[in-house]
Structures are given as structure tokens and as C-alpha cells.
Structure 1
Amino acid sequence: MSLMGPPGAILLLLFAAAVTPGPNNLLMLRIGLESGLHAVLAPATGVVLGGVVMLLLSCAGLARAFAVHPGLRAATTICGAGCVMWLGVRLICCSGASARARMGSRTGGARDLLRMFLFQFVNPKSWILVLTITAAAGDTSVSLVTLIVLFILIPYGCLALWAGGGSLAASLLHDTRARVRLERSAGAMLVLSGLLLLCPP
């Protein structure tokens, strides 16, 4: 695949959006920090499946609905930003030994998959990414199958990268206070990202 052609351009756009800090990546960082890489597969799969379903909905006409009804996009942004900020505040308040005890019992199973799947539909960054990619692909010969493959492979890799960073940090930070500071920093970044989502472009 040539990086100079339409598929390559979409690949680079998708990678740039998927690897940069955002709610999904910060949550994967937290899971990696608290529970290790073994707990990441289910929630990461929820993120990927949610993205693929959103892509299909966008290609089926939902992108036009967002364009025709600005209020729909505004409502999604406000709701999503509120959820992101709530997650950040919760992470700040629940950081520490008690949170680690709860997270230690995570199964990384169907419940985590479903939570992250549903979260994508109120995650403004996910909608921005999907709508941007759909618009970019609409003027090219890139097939829907190619888009689906890219939406599976690239987000999985980026989520694993962030989760791996959290797992590595957990192995290096043996001091409880340092871990708590990292958790609170991740929570603060979530709150900040939620606030930034409310700022007009």
C-alpha cells in the first residue's frame, strides 16, 4: 500500500487519530497500569467493534444526519464530554490502594467489552474520527472492506501500545504514591480532554 495514495493517506490519518491521547487510550493506560496486559483484550475489542459499527452507520447515512442536524452533533459532544469528565473525576477520586484492590478483581470479560463498545457512541473523539475518515474515503476509491480492516488493525495496535505503557509503568513504579500520582494525572488528562471537546473548533 503506497503511503502517497488514498489508502495510505487514510491509514496515516487513522493512525494519527488513534495513537494520540484520548479517552480510549487513557482508559487503556489505566487498565494496563492496574491489571496488566491480560485484562486489555476485552475492552480493546469493545473499542474496535464500536468503531467498526460506527463506521458502518456513518457509511449508511448517519454522517449526513450529523451534517443536516447540527444539534445532533452538539448533543453527542456534550453528552460524551460529560461522560469523559466523569470518568476522569472518578479516576482521580478512586486512585490509590482501594482502587487497585477493586481493579485487581477485573475479569476483562464480556462486561468490559460491552462497556467500552457502548462508550464509543458517546465518545466525541470516536465520532470525529469516523466522520472524518468517512468523508475522506468518500472522494476516493478506497473500499468499505479496506476501511474495516484498517479500523480493526490500527486501533488494536494503538490501544495495545498505551496499555503496554501502563503495564510497564506498573512494573517500574513500586512506590504506591508514585502510582497514585500517575493515576491522578491520567484522570486529570481525561477531565482536560473532556473540556477541550466542548471548545468550538
Structure 2
Amino acid sequence: METSTVLSLLPALILFSISATLTPGPNNILLAYSGANFGFRKTLPHIVGIRIGMTCMHLAMLLGLGKLFEQYPMLHQVLSVFAASYIIYLAIKIARGKPNSSNSSASPMTFSQAALFQLVNPKSWAMLLTLVTALTLPNEQYWPSALLGVIVFNLATLPCSFFWVAVGRYLKGFLQNPQKLKRFNLVMASLLLLTLPLIFY
């Protein structure tokens, strides 16, 4: 095995990981919403949940999960319907949430919720599919290149999650008025709904 050949993937892995994760998607919309409404500390479990959830999915796909969906197309359809339903539920929850109210049901995503959300996040599936199919090497170099992808993806994308929480925290300075915060939440809910077509693409 040529170590230099495996490491030649490094620039492409870094560039893909940052560009794919920094662009808007369900995770980033939810992180910005959480940053604005609940702050950085309360959003940390959400960030860790994303990373653990995506890492588990990444490893599962490397072990052949993608082939299972190819063999049983109905699984993909069931997952798509569930994903769409859950994203609609989250959008409604965000739109109705009143974080300044003591009676509000609004709360930041927990670690387990964020991890499980990756299963229904269309962008997570798309990113990981690219990593597994286009950014791995064949034969005996498969696992070294695959594990390099897992490591690089996590290291490169973690700062991107922090960035979106910081965006939310920055915007909070302009959202002290409850009505402005409500409008912001409605925009975040609408953006989340706009990701629905990705599920059926």
C-alpha cells in the first residue's frame, strides 16, 4: 500500500468537507436557529450529536449500507416519507416556539435527537455517499482511504458547525425584540421546509 497515494486524497477531502458542510442545509439551519434562541452552550449537545450521528452513518455506509438500499428500494421510499414528515414537524415546532416564554415547548435539540436526525437528513446522505463512492480508493487502499475520510470529514466540518451557531448568536443581537425573534424563527422554519425537495431528488 502506498501511503502517499492515500494521502493524495487529502486536499480533495478537505475541500469537499468544508464546502459541503459550510453551505446551508437542514443541520446548519437548525444550528443557526439554536444559536439565536438558546446560545452556544446549550447547542453543544446538538453539535456533538451531528458529528456522532454522521460518523456512525459514514462507517455503516463504508460497511455496505448503501448496497442494502440498492437491493431494497422500498427502504429508501419509507425513509424519504419519514424524513419529510420529521422535517415538517421540526419546522412547525420552530415556527411556533417562543423561547422567551416559560410555558414554551421550545428547547434545543438533544444529543440523541441530533444524532438520529442525520438518518432523515437528505444532505447528510448525499455528502456521505460522495465520500464513500468518489473519495475512497479501491482494493487494499479502500479502508486506509476510507478511514482517512472519516477523520478529515470530522475535523474539517466541526468548525463549520461552530460557524453556524456563531451566525445565530450574532443575529440574536438584532433580535432582542420578541417580534423580531418570532420572524427570524419563521424564516428558519421556512428555510427548513425548502430542503424538502432534496429528500425526493
* TM-score bucket (shorter structure): 0.7 to 0.9
Determine if the alignment matches structure 1 residue 22 to structure 2 residue 25. yes
Verify the 8 A CA contact 2:83 2:120 in the aligned structure 1. yes
Deviations 1:129-149 (A, max 9, x none): 111210012346562331121
Q: How does 1:101-180 map to 2 (within 5 A)?
A: 103=106, 112-139=110-137, 141=141, 143-180=145-182
Verify the 8 A CA contact 1:96 1:179 in the aligned structure 2. no
Verify the 8 A CA contact 2:83 2:199 in the aligned structure 1. no
Verify the 8 A CA contact 2:132 2:146 in the aligned structure 1. no
Deviations 1:14-49 (A, max 9, x none): 222211111111111111011111112111000000
Q: 1:51 aligns with which of 32, 42, 54?
A: 54
Verify the 8 A CA contact 2:122 2:199 in the aligned structure 1. no
- Mean Cα deviation higher: 75-84 or 57-66: 75-84
Residue in structure 1 matched with residue 66 of structure 2 by the alignment: 63
User: In the aligned structure 2, how far is the partner of 1:159 from the partner of 1:128?
Assistant: 18
- How high is the sequence identity, in percent, across the aligned residues? 25
C-alpha distance 162-136 of structure 1, shift in aligned 2 (>3 A): same
User: In the aligned structure 1, how far is the partner of 2:91 from the partner of 2:85?
Assistant: 10
Verify the 8 A CA contact 2:50 2:114 in the aligned structure 1. yes
Runs of 4+ in structure 1 displaced over 4 angstroms?
99-103
C-alpha distance 8-198 of structure 1, shift in aligned 2 (>3 A): same
Q: 2:87 aligns with which of 62, 69, 84?
A: 84
User: In the aligned structure 2, how far is the partner of 1:100 from the partner of 1:121?
Assistant: 30
Gaps of 5+ in 2: none
Kindly state the Cα deviation for residue 168 of structure 1 after the two structures are TM-superposed. 0.8
Q: Secondary structure at the match of 2:24?
A: coil
Q: 1:182 aligns with which of 167, 184, 187?
A: 184
Tell which structure's C-alpha radius of gyration is larger. 2
Q: Secondary structure at the match of 1:172?
A: coil
What is the count of residue pairs matched by the alignment?
Answer: 192
Q: Secondary structure at the match of 1:143?
A: helix
Residue in structure 2 matched with residue 41 of structure 1 by the alignment: 44
TM-score when scaled to structure 2? 0.84
